[in-house]
Structure 1
Amino acid sequence: MIKRFGNAPFNHANIRLFIAFRVFYNARFYYPVFTILFLDFGLTLEQFTLLNVVWAMTIVLLEVPSGALADLFGRRRLLIATSLLMIAELSLISFAPSTQPEWIFYLFLANRLLSGASEAMGSGADEALAYDTLVAAGQKDLWPKVLDVQLKVQQIGFIVAMTLGALVYDPELLNRIAGWIGFNGELTLRNTMRYPLLLTLGSALVTLVLTLKMTEPPNADQPEQQGFFATAFATTRLIIDSAKWIWHTPFALGIILFTMLFDHIIRMLLTLNSQYYRMIDIPEALFGVIGSSMSVMAYFIPPLAVYAASRFRPVANLSWMSVLMMIGCATFALFIPWYGVLPMALVFVVFMFNMFFGSHYLNQVTPSHMRATVLSFRGLSFNLAYAGISLAYTGAYAWFKQRAPSTLNEAQLERHTFMVTSEQFVWYFVMLLIVLSGVVFIAQRTARHRNNESQSS
């Protein structure tokens, strides 16, 4: 796979380590059993929801400051901290004492805080380190090839983690396998529910080894030792400067806003997919098969994204992605039995293109000294938008439910409300596309006016 593109970018150890880091950091073996894992540990559904709000808010609060710290003191240091936090978060719950249920909630609370901090610190720092490695070698134009391989390998890792994580969680399956090899022990859910966590803890240990092997790119500024107040001032100054740069650079602002537009809507649709699949008559046993099939499909997207990025202008790519998104959202709302999985596959394809274009275009125009900070602003916008659409969806669902026909029974009411609420996604996308286009247009006019003034003076 690498030979097809030439070995140039992959001769750099940082590039190989970046790809491996992305694979192992995202190889979360507990994802296919995420909700039931928390419940099987004894938590309630309300506690599960609260813990994930804590996780999201931790990322929002730390996203941009951690990016600034990466730019100021080195991306490698932040990535080592990311790996250490991942090890800590998984150790807390992998070895949580089942004999003391009163401690479980607090251990999982600490887990969510550490997990959010780890996600925030790693966001942008790994990408900035890898991209600047190519910049230092005069090979930044090879970044699309790196993304191509990285996304492909990451999808393979995702398939393995999803499949293996679900398998090792099932005590009946593991007992049958143990019987085949002559092991007479009896595994219970109390044993097997920790196996996906332990596998992920193993991945965390690998990420630590990988980050320790990374090096700062030759062109990176050497981190300086500063006191607390000097560090706080420098971090704040870099955040402000990066925010100003984004506003004064309409292309960067547009990339952040439009990739945020696609990202938060598609993530919301993916969050709802299990309920959606039930309503289009797909058996629950096939949910995992559909997810793995989409990951296999995603393996073939990066080469197409490389071609589109080199062949078409960014506005053209935005246009055809918007058309596909509108088709996907509109047909999603039709709830076609069985064939309704196709709109979900379509928006997932858009999601993969969106990931590629966001990284490719934004890294092209971002100065090296603030790259991790700018990428963190992108991550912040994604998480804030997702939180916003989650609240908006909850409010819209309640509003439509109150206005549903009174003749419906409870099951019919839930189905009716879900379908009516789902019809709003396409209109929400179109409305926000128009609004964000207006924002970028104003930013372009302002930048052009500012340039004219500076030239005349």
Structure 2
Amino acid sequence: MVVKGKEGSEEKQSVSPYHLVNIRLFILFRVLFNARFYYPVFTILFLDYGLTLEQFAVLNTVWAFTIVLSEVPSGALADLLGRRFLLVVTAWLMIFEMAVIAFVPAANPDLVFWAFLINRVLSGLAEAMASGADEALAYDTLVVHGLAGQWPRVLEVQMRAQNFGYIIAMTLGAVVYDPSVVNRVLQWCSVNVSVSQQMSMRYPLYLTLILAVFALFVTLRMRDPSPPAGHRTRDPQKATIWQLLRLVLRTGAWIIRTPMAFTIIFFAMTIDHTLRMGVTLTSKYYRLIGLPEASFGLLGSLVAVVGLFVPRLARIMVERLSFGLNVFLLGAGSVIALLFLSLFVPYWGILPVIAIFVGLMLTSYFTSHYLNELTDSQQRATVLSFKGLALNVAYGIIGLAFAALMQHYRVVQTGLHPSQAVDFIEDQAFVATVGCFPWYLAGALILTSLCCLPRVWRRRSTGRKQ
């Protein structure tokens, strides 16, 4: 299967896409928006502010539901009101979400909880609004200039730049969070100031807030590209709720009626949510394969370094191999990685973790390339938002399934080892649950293939143009 674009075959290959201001700003926005300095200390940041693990779980559930509820409407708004408008709003939301927890007094636990609740809602809205809008703006910019075929190269540079930002954020964020490190640096600089944990825990937030301000300046410089010839333009002042609903329904119907679009989203959903669940559990997994906690930040940076080379591999694959072969290689490789992950090999178990991160990056790259190539400009952001919705709903479902399996295996392991400590039972339940991952993904891929591929083959056999 090969996806053929609808944007025309003539490309102005002599013009570099990086000469276009929107493309440079798109890459810079992705770096600024995703380089969160608090990521390496995400969980303990909540706890050091005085929140409990239960509150942490509730707050992140709120974040996930906010994304799910606003994903598709925000994509439709981007198509109706303009992608730049949504990205400017996204940058403002990022500023507010960081400011509300960066400056909240930590002495009042109730106030801290409400501040973090507001942060999670604003963060979810920002994630949903950025999802699809920035990509649609960048891709349509290429289409207008006859450079749609350069999208794989733009994706390659964007993902590599984002990984550079991730490396810096992971390293610097963990360093400034540790008051002992900050104090040693201050002493070396002959600054007679002592920093406490209550002070240093805000430093990653301040740094991310600075990036949010820069992200706002970047979005203000963006411009919505002029629509291709023959495309109707919409007046943002006349956009109504009915237009929003009609665009959402029309786009959803188009995805269902278009076998290739449906197949791309379903395969992405199947692979992404399983691998993402594995990534979520890396801290616990590292402990069980004997890696010290001090190495976790370094391992995150190692994964980011490997990620610098993945976009080039992904571009070569989409340029030289068919869609079907790429999906087969990605699916088979993901199942094999999860099989090795489930073995919990001491120390060397880091290798399947790296393979899982590579699989996630390939999934993101393939989905962006094939779906943008297939989608019309007027509904591009909405289609990408449907994709984001599918991925997040599936991730939420597998999270619930993981919790249910853990509870089941706790009961089983308690019956098998009634005299063992609670920690031992918990570890054995975790090992047994992770052992289900490869078989789950293999079964899900088979079902997805049976559901999607016959429709694609029937459509191809009729000779109708996708």
| TM-score between the two structures when normalised by the length of structure 2 | 0.93
Which residue of 2 is the match for residue 83 of structure 1? Answer: 91
- Identify unmatched segments of 5+ residues in structure 1: none
Identity within the alignment, %: 47
Change (3 A) 1:6 1:306: farther
Which of residues 424, 431, 439 in structure 2 aligns to 1:412? 424
Letter aligned with residue 265 of structure 1: T
Residue 244 of structure 2 corresponds to residue 235 of structure 1: yes
Which residue of 2 is the match for residue 252 of structure 1? Answer: 261
**CA deviation profile, 1:339-375 (whole Å, cap 9, x unmatched):** 1111111111111111111111100000000000000
CA distance in 2 between partners of 1:295 and 1:350 (Å): 13
Which residue of 1 is the match for residue 180 of structure 2? Answer: 172
For the Cα contact (< 8 Å) 1:248–1:447, is it kept in 2? no
CA distance in 2 between partners of 1:225 and 1:245 (Å): 23
Q: Secondary structure of the residue that 1:257 maps to in structure 2?
A: helix
Q: Give how far 1:223 is off.
A: 3.9
CA distance in 1 between partners of 2:368 and 2:357 (Å): 17
Q: Give how far 1:411 is off.
A: 2.5
Residue 292 of structure 2 corresponds to residue 283 of structure 1: yes
CA distance in 2 between partners of 1:379 and 1:6 (Å): 34
Q: Secondary structure of the residue that 1:440 maps to in structure 2?
A: helix
CA distance in 2 between partners of 1:265 and 1:110 (Å): 29
CA distance in 1 between partners of 2:456 and 2:170 (Å): 44
**CA deviation profile, 1:20-60 (whole Å, cap 9, x unmatched):** 00000001001111111111111111111100000000000
Note the 1:21-420 alignment, pairs <5 A: 21-219=29-227, 222-226=233-237, 231-404=240-413, 405-407=416-418, 408-420=420-432
CA distance in 2 between partners of 1:75 and 1:104 (Å): 34
Letter aligned with residue 139 of structure 1: L
Letter aligned with residue 348 of structure 1: F
Residue 21 of structure 2 corresponds to residue 13 of structure 1: yes
For the Cα contact (< 8 Å) 2:75–2:381, is it kept in 1? yes
Letter aligned with residue 391 of structure 1: L
CA distance in 2 between partners of 1:93 and 1:58 (Å): 18
- Root-mean-square deviation (CA), in Å? 1.8
Letter aligned with residue 341 of structure 1: I
CA distance in 2 between partners of 1:97 and 1:122 (Å): 29
| TM-score between the two structures when normalised by the length of structure 1 | 0.95
**CA deviation profile, 1:326-350 (whole Å, cap 9, x unmatched):** 1111111111111111111111111
CA distance in 2 between partners of 1:308 and 1:331 (Å): 24
CA distance in 1 between partners of 2:14 and 2:187 (Å): 48
CA distance in 2 between partners of 1:271 and 1:208 (Å): 29
Moved more, 149-158 or 245-254: 245-254
CA distance in 2 between partners of 1:60 and 1:114 (Å): 13
Q: Give how far 1:101 is off.
A: 3.1
CA distance in 2 between partners of 1:432 and 1:98 (Å): 45
CA distance in 2 between partners of 1:450 and 1:300 (Å): 40
For the Cα contact (< 8 Å) 1:79–1:125, is it kept in 2? yes
Q: Give how far 1:406 is off.
A: 3.6
Which of residues 444, 450, 454 in structure 2 aligns to 1:432? 444
Moved more, 437-446 or 199-208: 437-446
- Identify unmatched segments of 5+ residues in structure 2: 1-12
CA distance in 2 between partners of 1:18 and 1:214 (Å): 8
Q: Give how far 1:100 is off.
A: 3.1
For the Cα contact (< 8 Å) 1:258–1:436, is it kept in 2? yes
**CA deviation profile, 1:225-263 (whole Å, cap 9, x unmatched):** 446xx6110011111111111111111111111111121
For the Cα contact (< 8 Å) 1:249–1:447, is it kept in 2? no
Q: Secondary structure of the residue that 2:51 maps to in structure 1?
A: coil
**CA deviation profile, 1:68-97 (whole Å, cap 9, x unmatched):** 000011000000000011111111111102
Q: Secondary structure of the residue that 1:16 maps to in structure 2?
A: helix
Q: Secondary structure of the residue that 1:403 maps to in structure 2?
A: helix
For the Cα contact (< 8 Å) 2:51–2:109, is it kept in 1? no
For the Cα contact (< 8 Å) 1:67–1:375, is it kept in 2? yes
